[in-house]
Amino acid sequence: MLLETLATKAVEYFALQVSGGALQKLGADAKDYLQKLVGLIYSHFAGRQEIQEATQNPLALKAAIISEAPNNVAFREDLESVVTKLIEIEGNSNSGNVNQISNGSGSSINAPQNTGYIAGGNQYFRG
């Protein structure tokens, strides 16, 4: 992952977690990873101004991460692992609700928000 992207997402998730909005955005599956992210950032930047002002000035924390990560491989790898998992969870939570069920003679798709005709059959999406 590009360092700029890594730092941007890390700060975004960190700010969401410390402000209390992360679980609402990402769901309960992200709780352990959010706690790992906050712990990782606090342990590397403890007592520094960037950490104290992270919610008001996220660019300062982002700059600190960009500065620290190239010099500390373990920090970067840990951060990338946690952020990658959070991105995956965020992607899954935004994927919508479409269920496909096979009954042996064909497929039945349950997509309650869509309406329309399925080519090649007499099945309709429910709206």
Instruction: List all residues 6 or more positions away from 67 whose beta carbon is below 8 Å from its beta carbon.
Output: none
**pLDDT value at residue 33:** 92
Q: Which residues pair with 116 in a beta bridge?
A: 125
Question: Of 25, 13, 17, 15, whose CA–CA distance to 81 is shortest?
Answer: 13
- CA–CA distance, 114 with 93 (Å, rounded to integer): 19
**pLDDT value at residue 21:** 76
**pLDDT value at residue 79:** 95
DSSP E strands in 78-119: the ranges are 99-102, 107-110, 116-117
The total of other beta-carbon atoms located within 10 Å of residue 126's CB is 10
Q: For tokens 């660019």, what's the residue? A: 59
The pTM (predicted TM-score) of the whole model is: 0.67
Question: Of 39, 44, 41, whose CA–CA distance to 10 is shortest?
Answer: 41
AA identity, residue 7: A
Mean pLDDT by 10 residues, the chain (127 residues): 90 84 78 91 88 84 93 95 92 60 52 53 53
